[in-house]
Amino acid sequence: MYCAFFDEAAEAFDFDEGKQWTEEEEDDLRANGLVPYVSNQIQPRIDNVSGSEVLTRTRLKFDARSMSETALSSADALTDLILYLQENNSSSSKWSQAMRKARVCGLAWHHILPNNDTIEEEIPSSLDVVYDPLDMTMGFTNSRGRGLIGWYTRDELLRKYPGKVAEVDAATSSHNGIGGIYTNMMAPKGVTSSRMTFSRCGYFDKSSKKVMLVRFYYRVPKAFYTYLSKENLIVNTFYKAEAEKESSKKRGGYSKNDGYQLRCCVFSGSVVFDEFEYPYQLDYYRGAIPLTPICLKREENTGIPYGMVRAAKDDQKLYNKKMSKLNWYLSSRQVIMDSNAVDDVDNLAAEVARPDGIIMKRRGADLAIQKNLDEIASHYQSLDIHVRNIERNMAVFDEATGAETNATSGRAIQLRKSGSQTTQALPIDLLRLAKREAGRKMAQMAQMKFDDRMVFTIRGSDGKPQQRAINAPVEEADGKPKKDPDGNIVRQADIRGLNFDVTLEEAPDVATINEDAKQRLADMISQGANVQSLTPGMLKTLGIPEENELYQEISQGFQQKIQQADAILKENEGLKAQLAKLTGQQIQGGNAPSMPAGGVPGNVQ
């Protein structure tokens, strides 16, 4: 089943990248005088629906499960720490890349890994991740393991594993992985360059002299122990001796629970380079793996993931084939003549191919040149059918991409635009689900990795820097760290033992909000909107934050307009009152003014 997904995913990426003819098909076309023409109708539609994730960013927020001030402060600190890591990793752009890959082939992956003093995020190729084919769930929640594929030269392997020369020699053998028993049968036999030659080369590719190394995460059932540490932190461990030593009856001792241990194995074919307990156990109950899937769709019977390309590739093939034939028909002529109409048939063919050809035929002989107009017309009409099928199957209509169509009424155009947006609600929901899961894993890894004082800088939606600190010891008046009654150092914004829930917040991104605002305003102006009539509420609806200069400028102008309107209103009320006093008329909604003795001055009695 994995090989079936691999083949289809490789073909889907080829279609997305405009590689829609195989070598055999190209040779066959050229042999028949046709050009292997490609007009990619798939890529712009996938780019269009993927563009919404670039403009709208999702940020993670961590909420404490306790209402104490200490827990709330720690939750805010953890939220800021993850925001700092996401900004350093350009996390928003990477998630956009991941969702685009998922739309193409149906499955993409997000990988977190600790590296030196930070936690990195990466989006590996969908063709470089090994998954458990027996796990049929949408979120791959029942997976036994997942692996990452990488290709290395002999020198790179020796630098990576300097003490394992024998293993490197075995891995770089031309017999590595061919006909042997593999360490993990869930891994493919290997991929290289074109990604489709692994069936012949095993784990070692002779042409590039590279070895396929698999870093495989897998979980094994294992009991773990939970206890309260001396610093009053809830700690999980797989080692009973540690729980007995670090816990006490005063703190409630320890408890035994059933769970999973996450392990990691690095191998190439039958050669094992390393096998160890993963140092960051992200979930003792589930054995969570650092690789998080974004799965768009899966076949119900087989579980093979598939994306938006599957439904469109047949019409895309027919479109390209008919365009090739159409090009041939436009440049070809068909001659119907009597057998003795001309002296030189070869010369006739050459002259017919020229736009200014001169043909000498015998008198009385019949000779007619046909331009294939009927075939050209029928092929041209059928092209529109294939385009309509592609946009209907992908549920992305031309109106949503800004292309000119045959829809004439504004209502029809709007309906097709909204239809394209509605069909993307499910993929966006699946993306948010994956973000929440990956965010939880990153936070749990951060709690274990950043266990000491750390100072970092974050930027809000206004782009202004703000410095934060976590796990910072609270100092007494004499400069010494403050301690609790048990002798533990009291820390501010201590994220280590925090129990939290994860929520998502939609927020404009600093890098894109100004460009997005410019585009939106340009569209409004081009449609005849008056910029002076914009209000702060309208800008907020457009997604422009209050800290943005444009928002502040219009907000200040709006306040000035309100003040001017109030001043004019008061002035008008004064004039009305004076006029009523002079004429003796009652102001609408008010009391009649008092009349002076002797009537109105200047009145003729």
Q: What single string gives the DSSP state of each residue in 484-513?
A: -TTSPBPEES--TT--EEEEEEEEE-HHHH
pLDDT value of residue 259 = 95
d(CA 72, CA 64): 6
Q: Is residue 79 part of a domain?
A: yes
Residue 121 lies in a domain: no
Is 181 within a domain? no
Last residue of a domain, one of 355, 370, 404: 404
Structure tokens at 190: 């290997």
pLDDT digits (tens, 9 = 90+) for 397-434: 655 554 555 444 454 445 445 545 566 677 888 888 89
Phi, psi of 257 (to 5 degrees): -135, 155
DSSP-derived letter for residue 172 is T
- What residues does 457 pair with on adjacent strands? 467
Task: Decide which of 584 and 195 is more confident.
Answer: 584
Do 317 and 400 fall within a single domain?
yes
Q: Which residue has the tokens 């004076």?
A: 578
Structure tokens at 457: 């800088």
How far is the C-alpha of 316 from the C-alpha of 339, rounded, in Å?
Answer: 42
CB-hemisphere CA count at 13 Å for 408? 0
Token duo for residue 507: 């927020």
Tell me which residue of 150, 152, 151, 128 sits closest to 13, measured CA to CA: 128
Residues 444 and 481 in one domain: yes
Of the residues 488, 508, 528, which one is the last residue of a structural domain? 508
Per-residue pLDDT band for 453 (boundaries 50, 70, 90) equals confident
- Please tell me whether residues 398 and 323 are part of one structural domain: yes
Asked whether residue 196 carries a pLDDT value surpassing 50, the answer given is no
pLDDT of residue 70: 85
> Chain-centre distance of CA 134, in angstroms?
26
Q: How confident is the model at residue 594 (pLDDT cuts 50, 70, 90)?
A: low
Tokens 């533990």 found at: 488
Does the residue 257 lie in any domain?
A: no
Name the nearest CA neighbour of 320 among 390, 372, 393: 390
Q: In the structure, what pLDDT confidence band is assigned to residue 194 with cuts at 50, 70 and 90? A: very low
Specify whether 490 is located in the same domain as 539. Answer: no
- pLDDT given at position 231: 75
| Mean pLDDT, range 19-35, rounded to an integer | 84
> Is 270 within the bounds of a domain?
no
User: How many CA atoms lie within 13 Å of 374's alpha carbon, on the beta-carbon side?
Assistant: 2
Q: Are residues 488 and 428 in the same domain?
A: yes
In a domain, 206, yes or no: no
Q: Among residues 214, 224, 216, 234, which one has the least CA distance to residue 261? A: 224
At 272-312, the pLDDT tens digits run: 999 999 999 999 999 999 999 999 999 989 999 999 999 89
Same domain assignment for residues 69 and 99? yes
Query: What pLDDT shows up at residue 193?
Result: 34
Taken in order 305, 307, 313, 314, the sign of the CA dihedral is positive
Q: Are residues 302 and 318 in the same domain?
A: no
Q: Which residues pair with 267 in a beta bridge?
A: 214, 272
Residue 564 within any structural domain of the chain: yes
> How does DSSP assign 284-313, residue by residue?
TTT---SEEEEE--B-TTT--B--TTTTTH
Residue 479, domain member (yes or no):
yes
Query: Are 504 and 429 in a shared domain?
Result: yes
**Do 494 and 481 form a contact (C-beta atoms < 8 A)?**
no
Same domain, 329 and 471: no
Q: How far is CA 139 from CA 61, 96, 142, 438, in A?
A: 22, 18, 8, 12
Q: What is the 3-state secondary structure (H, E, C) of 212-268?
A: EEEEEEEEEEEEEEEEECCCCCEEEECCHHHHHHHCCHHHCCEEEEEEEEEEEEEEE
Report, as an integer, the average pLDDT of 31-58.
Answer: 78
Output the six-digit token pair for 570: 């008061």
What is the domain extent for residue 377?
313-404
Tens digit of each residue's pLDDT (9 = 90 or more) over 320-368: 888 887 776 666 666 667 676 776 776 766 665 666 667 666 676 776 6
Residue-level length of the chain: 605
Check whether residue 487 and residue 524 sit in a common domain. no
β 271-277/291-295 pair status: unpaired
Are residues 428 and 478 located together in one domain of the fold?
Answer: yes
- 399 shares its domain with 547: no
Q: Report pLDDT for 276.
A: 94
Q: Are 225 and 194 in contact (CB under 8 A)?
A: no
- The number of folded domains in the chain is 3
The more confidently predicted of residues 216 and 233 is: 216
